[in-house]
Structure formats: structure tokens, C-alpha cells
């Protein structure tokens, strides 16, 4: 059963996993005059307790890996080239953050407000803060150098809405000079209700709120204080005010037709069991996407959690939580927890090419809208090709409960196009009868530095992808190949430069037929580490 | 009669500047500075000194012992 409020959907693809059968729901044809404006649609979603997709016993394919068939055309238009709101888009489109918002109105136990370490890659950490005019210039420079950059986000280093003048001035300048760039903002929500109207007036159509709890008893362990109505407030009272304001802000945004993503930091022992409740609470208020991210915590970060030995979740813990929330709501799995000055495709960091010094040195930056449009059209064509290849590969996929995970070394565009030793991260895909699905990524220290492998880093790479049956690479050296095989991970380079998902499905078909022919026995892999330490390698 | 900001610890986040009811805070060389002649320790304005309440770095916004404490005029 699915709900369609005048959405001109072609079909919703429902995988009924319990019976191992595919169940295609009937097409909903809706006349043009019945298609409602987006605000009304989103209001209806909020009234009817969130995204109404459901299916008998199975899961609807409405994760952020959803495509045009899975959502209303107006919504798809807004997310199709936003790398954070669409998993598919993140292989092709880039974003940038500008660090114009240094002040913050709360304190979180996972954040260290001293932000001057260029080697650390986590939110709230940035190398240089910018004035709005500098930010505007930077955006034009990046937009011309990276034509597939479609989104400008303000995420910090503090809270954008604790610096409203700087934040909205930046949006104003960008909207004037580069109107095709989408505006995006990420906030803790405390000040949100006061600024929803302004947000709407600037056509910011994507807002992220970080919601780690809806229960103040739990919140008091995450937030030592908030600054509210001219007072520093602590304890349960602080958490209570914060959650009320967050929920109020979310409701107001939904009513105003703004797409809302919710970020939650998973902190084992504090909110890991609770996040399922958060998921329900935000869904019922109309949030479009939920991004559950692992806590990043090590003593050298100087955060309260880091210093107190609070650990982040393991890869399996994180995946299990994301899986359990999947059926109820769109889940985002590809967040890279990037810095407030990040530039580029998610997973790559080109901010060093665009430092303040370099930007100030540029005399005139010309915004080339035509080249950008042409490039994006090329990207769309490539993307259509990729989707078609995946669909083709899905034909004759046998039905089975077996699933395997595959790690992929990639530079982007959805292809297996990176050398094992050059990969700074591996994308993780889960593949089975239902097809292939992006389920996460693992950051790894650079294995290959200056042509020679570093013996210390290879074991940590193996630990990071330990839960995978195979790793797809464009190329790999003999020594890592042997180590991976010894660890039970199949190093595969025969899909070099091919589309990832098509290759994963092909590999799975081969794997499954070998299991059926009893050549190999299918075994579950163990757990894997999420890297906690600071990023060692230089840019 | 004043608070001071310990410059070496100040991250320059600017959260304090707009909160001061006496407009006593300004930026200098990337960090923030309180004018001791203007600071009233928020007496007569708020229960909590605002700059201290919003500062994210512990023990950075502190009473400046070089000056006598502020007294609200009778």
C-alpha cells in the first residue's frame, strides 16, 4: 500500500524480502489537475504522520537512494543534484561549505570549539573563517573551477543561526551572483523558529537540523549548556528547551515547504537505543531524510567525549541502527561528516586549492553559467547511462537471502576508478537479490605514500573493510593483494573503470553461482572499525 | 570594574560581541577585547554577565583584577 497525494509517480518498487519475491505495486496515474503545490503536499505529509510509504512486510525503496520514481516530481527536482539529499547525486555533484558562522549558542560534548587544525576532518573544525564578501568570491571561484558544484551550504564552524547577519548576507550575495546554486544550511535548531521566515524568503530550500535526542533526560548527557534568553542554562532544563525549539522549528519549516534533513550523532550508551524514537518523532513532523552518523571521538580531539573515553559505534552497530530505521523513513548513509569549509565531491577535499590567500589573490572571478550548465548536462547523461547499466544487470538475478558487502575504491562518477593505495576512503555497497545499495563509507589513512606501501597502515585498512567479502579497485599492488586474501577479502581489479553497481551485481551473480555449485561456502564476515583518530596524511 | 578576555585563549568566534549591553567588545587582530571603561559586568542589565555566558572556552572571559569591581551608581 502506498499513499499518493496527487504525486505523478510511475511506479513504486517494493521488495518483499520475507518471501524473497518482488512485488510491484500498481501504477498510480494522476491527472495533471490533481497535482498539488509542494507546500500543500508537505503539509499533508506532516498531518498524516510523515512519509506515507509502507508495504506489506517489506521495505519501500525510498531511502536517499531513491530515484525519480520514488518521490513527487517537485521534490525530485529539488534533490536530484544535491549530493547530500540524494545518494545517487553524490557520485556526480559537489558541494561547498563556507565558514562564515563562527559563533555558537550551545555547547555539545562532541565538539571542540578551538578550530585550527587543518588535518582534522570533522564538523565544527575549520582552518579559516570567512567574511560574507570573501565567501561570495570563493563560491564564484569554486563554481567556475568545479562546474558540477551545485550546492552552497553554511554549516559553521559554529551555528549559522547564531550568526544570522553573516549567514543571510552570504546567501544574499550568492543568490545575486550565482542564482543557479542551491542554498543550504545546517543548524542545532535553538534559534531556528526565529528565522524560518527569513530562510524561506531567501529560497533556501534545504535545511538540516542536528537532533540527537527528544528526551531531555538523555539530552543532559550530550549538551552541557545552552545560551538562551540571556542566560547560560545547563542540565535537563537546557536539553528540554533545545528539543522543544528543534521540534517547533522542524514543524515550521515543513509547513513552509522547506526540505528538512535531520542529522543525529550516534553515541553508544547514551542515545543509541533512543535514536529510533528520534526517527519517529522527526518523521511525524515531516522531515524528509534522516542521517545517523557515528560519533567521532578520540582523546586528541580535546572534546569532552574524547577525553572521557566515550567511544563511537562500530560499523555493524551503526549499520544495524540505520537498517532498523530504514523502513519508516528515508535514511541517508553517505554523509562524510565534512568540515565547515569543505569543497568538492563528498569524500574528496579540494579546500586546499581555494584558501583565503588564493582567493584574495584572484583579481576578477568570472561566473561562467553556460559552461556549468553544459557540464551538468553531460553529468546527467552519464548518470542515466549508469542507471540503465544497473537495471540491465539486475535481470536474471536469482532469489536468495544471501547478502554480501563490497568495498569500492572510487574517485567519483559511480565508477571503480581508484588505485587501492591512493584511496582515502572506501565506499561500501551491500549486494543481494534486491540489487545493490550504497550503505556507507570507511575513511582510511593513505596506504600508498610516495610509491611505497606503508606497513603500518595496511592492517588498519583491512580492519576498516573487514566486514566486506571483496574490494573493487582499478589497480592494486602485490603485497596488499596477498594481505587482503589472507584476511578473507577478495581483491578484484577486473571491473576497473566500470560502473560500481553494475559490477557489484555481476560479481554477486558469479559469487552466488559458485556457492550453488558448492565451490565456496558463504560465511558472514565480522565487524569493522570506524576510524577515530585524526587524519594522518597531508593533503 | 570589568571582565577581560584572555587573548591567547580566544578563538575569535565573535559570540560575545553582539551580546554586550554596553557595546564594550570589539575585534582586534582576530581576537576580541573588552573595553574596561565601558564594562559594567552586566549589572543593571542582566543576571548573568553575557560575554561569560556565551563564551565557548572555559576560563577565557574572566574578571580583570587590575580594575576595581563595578558598582551600580546609586
Distance CA A400, CA A78 (A): 36
| Chain B residue closest in CA terms to A101 | B13
CB neighbours of A109 closer than 8 A, spacing ≥ 6?
A221, A222, A223, A224, A303, A304, A305, A310
Q: Which residue among B52, B53, B56 places its CB closest to the CB of A113?
A: B56
Best CA proximity match to A87, nearest among A316, A374, A386, A343: A386
Whether A464 and A442 have beta carbons less than 8 Å apart is answered as yes
Query: Nearest CB to B11: which of A113, A163, A230?
Result: A113
Task: Please tell me which residue of chain A has the smallest CA distance to B46.
Answer: A230
Task: Return the higher-pLDDT residue of A55 and A456.
Answer: A456
Residue A116 to chain B, least CA–CA distance (Å): 9
Residue A122: name the closest of A368, A409, A349 by CA. Answer: A349
Q: How far apart are CA A172 and CA A179, in angstroms?
A: 10
pLDDT at A194 over 70: yes
For chain B, say whether A114 makes contact (Cβ under 8 Å).
yes
Question: What CA–CA distance (Å, rounded) separates A322 from A318?
Answer: 6
- Nearest chain B Cα to A156, which residue? B13
Match 544535491 to its residue by C-alpha cell. Answer: A82
> What ipTM was predicted for this assembly?
0.95
**Span(s) in chain A for CATH 3.30.420.130:** 396-516
Q: Which residues of A touch B21 (CB under 8 A)?
A: none
Domains of chain B: 3-63 (3.30.70.20)
* Architecture of the domain delimited by A396-516: 2-Layer Sandwich (3.30)
C-alpha distances (whole Å) from A517 to each of A490, A511, A514, B58 are 19, 10, 5, 65
Q: Which of A6-15, A23-32, A188-197, A307-316 has the lowest mean pLDDT?
A: A6-15
List where CATH 3.20.20.70 sits in chain A: 81-354
User: A124: nearest CA in chain B?
Assistant: B13
How far apart, in whole angstroms, are the C-alpha atoms of residue A124 and residue A458?
29
According to DSSP, residue A305 is labeled H
pLDDT in tens, A59-86: 333 345 667 767 778 888 888 888 888 8
| Cα distance between residue A502 and residue A403, in whole Å | 16
Computed over every residue of chain A, the mean pLDDT equals 81
Burial A457-488 (b: 16+ CB within 10 A, else e): bbebbbbbbbbbbbbbbbebbeebbebbeebe
Residues across chain B: 74
A301, A87 in Cβ contact below 8 A?
A: no
CATH class for the region spanning A81-354: alpha beta
CB contact under 8 A, B15 and A129: no
Please tell me if residue A290 touches chain B, with a CB cutoff of 8 Å. Answer: no
| CA neighbor of A57 nearest in space, from A11, A104, A91, A23 | A23
Nearest to A282 by CA among A332, A214, A188: A214
For the whole model, what pTM was predicted?
Answer: 0.80
B59 has a pLDDT exceeding 90: yes
Give the residue on B whose Cα is nearest the Cα of A115. Answer: B11
Residue A360 has pLDDT above 90, yes or no: no
pLDDT at A1 over 70: no
Query: Is A62 exposed, middle or buried, given 0-12, 13-18 or 19+ CB atoms closer than 10 A?
Result: buried
Are the beta carbons of A417 and A438 closer than 8 angstroms? no
pLDDT at position A211 over 50: yes
Contacts of A162 in chain B (CB under 8 A): 15
The model's pLDDT over A292-330, given as tens digits with 9 standing for 90+, comes to 999 988 787 788 898 899 999 999 999 999 999 987 688
Q: How far off is chain B from A227, nearest CA to CA, in Å? A: 6
Provide the greatest CA pair distance for chain B: 38
Please name the residue that has the C-alpha cell 565544527: A124
Q: How many residues does chain A have?
A: 539
- Residue A14 C-alpha cell reads as 517494493
Answer yes or no: do A230 and B12 touch at CB < 8 A.
no
Quote the cell numbers at residue A514. Answer: 559458485
**Hey, which residues does A292 pair with through a beta bridge?**
A264
CA A54 to CA B17: how far, in whole Å? 50
Contacting residues for A363 by C-beta, under 8 A, at least 6 apart: none
Q: Determine contact, residues A223/A211, Cβ cutoff 8 Å.
A: no
Tens digits of residue pLDDT in A141-168: 888 888 888 899 998 888 999 999 999 9
What pLDDT sits at residue A126? 54
CB A272 within 8 A of CB A214: no
Q: What is the pLDDT of residue A303?
A: 85
Q: List, for residues A121-140, the tens digit of each pLDDT value.
A: 454 455 577 889 988 888 88
- Nearest alpha carbon to residue A313 among A383, A265, A253, A375: A265
DSSP tally for chain A: helices H, then strands E: 15, 21
User: What percentage of chain A carries pLDDT values higher than 90?
Assistant: 43
Number of Cβ pairs < 8 A linking chain A and chain B: 46
CA distance A295 to A310: 9
The arithmetic mean of pLDDT across residues A237-249, rounded, is 98
**Cβ contact (<8 Å) for B53 and A115?**
no
Residue B31 CB coordination number (10 Å): 17
pLDDT band for position A281 (cuts 50, 70, 90): very high
- Alpha helices (H) in A220-264, listed in sequence order: 235-255
Torsion of CA A240, A241, A244, A245, to 10 degrees: -150
d(CA A112, CA A5): 45
Task: With CB atoms and an 8 Å threshold, state whether A104 touches B12.
Answer: no
- Cα angle A161, A288, A344 (rounded to 5 degrees) comes to 65
Q: Would the pLDDT of A467 be above 90?
A: yes
- In sign, the C-alpha dihedral spanning A218, A220, A224, A230 is positive
How many beta carbons lie within 10 A of that of residue A76, not counting itself? 16
Dist CA A245 CA A237 (whole Å) = 12
A535 in Cβ contact with A443 (< 8 Å): yes
What is the pLDDT, as a whole number, of residue A45?
39
For CA atoms A457, A459, A465, A469, the dihedral sign is: positive
Listed residue (A433, A377, A113) closest to B54, CA to CA: A113
pLDDT at residue A35, rounded to an integer: 41
Q: What pLDDT sits at residue A456?
A: 67
Amino acid at each position: 500500500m502506498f499513499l499518493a497525494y496527487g504525486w505523478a509517480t510511475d511506479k513504486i518498487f517494493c521488495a518483499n524480502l520475507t518471501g524473497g519475491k518482488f512485488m510491484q505495486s500498481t501504477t498510480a496515474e494522476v491527472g495533471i489537475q490533481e497535482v498539488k503545490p509542494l507546500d500543500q503536499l508537505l503539509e499533508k505529509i506532516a498531518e498524516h504522520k510523515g512519509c506515507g510509504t509502507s508495504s506489506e512486510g517489506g521495505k519501500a525503496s525510498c531511502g536517499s537512494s531513491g530515484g525519480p520514481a520514488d518521490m513527487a516530481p517537485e521534490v525530485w527536482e529539488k534533490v536530484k543534484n544535491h549530493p547530500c539529499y540524494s545518494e545517487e547525486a553524490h557520485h556526480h555533484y559537489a558541494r561547498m561549505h563556507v565558514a562564515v558562522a563562527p559563533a555558537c549558542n550551545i555547547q555539545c560534548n562532541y565538539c571542540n570549539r578551538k578550530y585550527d587544525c587543518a588535518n582534522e576532518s570533522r564538523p565544527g573544525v575549520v582552518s579559516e573563517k570567512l567574511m560574507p564578501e570573501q565567501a561570495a568570491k570563493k563560491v564564484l571561484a569554486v563554481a567556475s573551477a568545479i562546474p558540477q558544484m551545485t550546492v552552497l551550504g553554511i554549516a559553521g564552524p559554529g551555528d549559522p543561526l547564531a550568526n544570522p547577519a553573516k549567514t543571510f548576507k552570504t546567501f544574499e550575495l550568492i543568490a545575486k551572483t550565482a542564482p543557479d546554486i542551491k542554498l543550504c544550511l545546517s543548524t542545532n535548531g535553538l534559534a531556528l523558529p526565529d528565522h524560518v521566515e527569513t530562510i524561506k524568503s531567501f529560497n533556501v530550500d534545504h535545511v538540516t537540523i542536528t537532533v540527537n535526542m527528544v528526551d531531555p533526560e538523555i539530552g543532559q548527557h550530550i549538551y552541557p549548556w545552552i545560551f538562551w534568553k540571556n542566560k547560560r542554562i545547563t542540565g535537563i532544563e537546557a536539553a528540554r528547551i533545545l528539543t522543544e525549539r528543534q521540534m517547533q522549528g522542524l514543524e515550521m519549516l515543513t509547513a513552509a515547504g522547506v526540505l528538512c534533513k535531520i542529522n543525529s550523532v550516534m553515541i553508544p550508551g547514551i542515545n543509541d537505543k533512543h535514536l529510533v524514537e528520534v526517527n519517529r518523532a522527526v518523521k511525524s513532523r515531516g522531515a524528509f531524510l534522516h542521517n545517523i552518523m557515528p560519533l567521532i571521538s578520540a582523546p586528541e580531539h580535546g572534546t569532552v567525549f574524547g577525553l572521557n573515553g566515550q567511544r563511537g559505534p562500530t560499523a555493524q552497530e551503526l549499520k544495524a541502527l540505520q537498517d532498523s530505521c530504514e523502513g519508516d523513513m528515508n535514511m541517508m548513509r553517505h554523509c562524510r561528516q565534512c568540515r565547515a569549509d569543505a569543497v568538492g565531491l563528498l569524500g574528496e577535499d579540494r579546500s586546499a586549492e581555494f584558501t583565503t590567500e588564493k582567493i584574495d589573490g584572484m583579481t576578477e572571478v568570472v561566473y561562467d553559467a553556460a559552461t556549468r550548465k553544459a557540464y551538468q548536462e553531460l553529468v546527467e547523461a552519464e548518470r542515466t547511462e549508469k542507471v540503465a547499466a544497473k537495471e540491465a544487470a539486475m535481470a536474471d538475478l536469482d532469489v536468495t537471502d544471501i547478502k554480501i558487502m563490497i568495498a569500492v575504491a572510487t574517485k567519483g562518477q559511480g565508477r571503480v576508478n581508484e588505485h587501492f593505495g591512493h584511496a582515502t576512503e572506501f565506499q561500501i555497497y551491500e549486494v543481494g537479490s534486491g540489487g545493490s545499495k550504497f550503505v556507507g563509507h570507511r575513511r582510511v589513512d593513505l596506504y600508498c605514500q610516495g610509491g611505497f606501501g606503508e606497513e603500518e597502515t595496511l592492517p588498519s585498512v583491512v580492519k576498516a573493510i573487514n566486514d566486506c567479502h571483496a574490494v573493487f579497485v582499478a589497480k592494486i599492488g602485490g603485497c596488499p593483494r596477498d594481505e587482503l586474501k589472507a584476511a578473507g577479502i577478495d581483491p578484484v581489479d577486473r571491473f576497473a573503470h566500470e560502473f560500481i553497481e553494475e559490477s557489484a551485481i555481476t560479481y554477486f551473480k558469479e559469487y552466488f553461482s559458485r556457492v550453488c555449485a558448492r565451490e565456496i561456502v558463504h560465511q558472514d564476515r565480522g565487524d569493522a572499525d570506524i576510524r577515530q583518530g585524526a587524519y594522518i596524511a597531508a593533503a | 570594574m570589568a571582565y577581560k578576555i584572555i587573548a591567547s585563549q580566544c578563538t575569535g568566534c565573535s559570540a560575545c560581541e553582539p551580546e554586550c549591553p554596553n557595546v564594550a567588545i570589539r575585534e582586534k587582530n582576530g581576537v576580541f577585547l573588552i573595553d574596561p571603561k565601558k564594562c559594567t559586568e552586566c549589572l543593571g542589565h542582566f543576571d548573568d554577565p553575557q560575554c561569560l555566558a556565551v563564551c565557548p572556552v572555559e576560563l577565557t572571559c574572566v574578571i580583570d583584577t587590575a580594575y576595581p569591581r563595578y558598582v551600580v551608581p546609586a
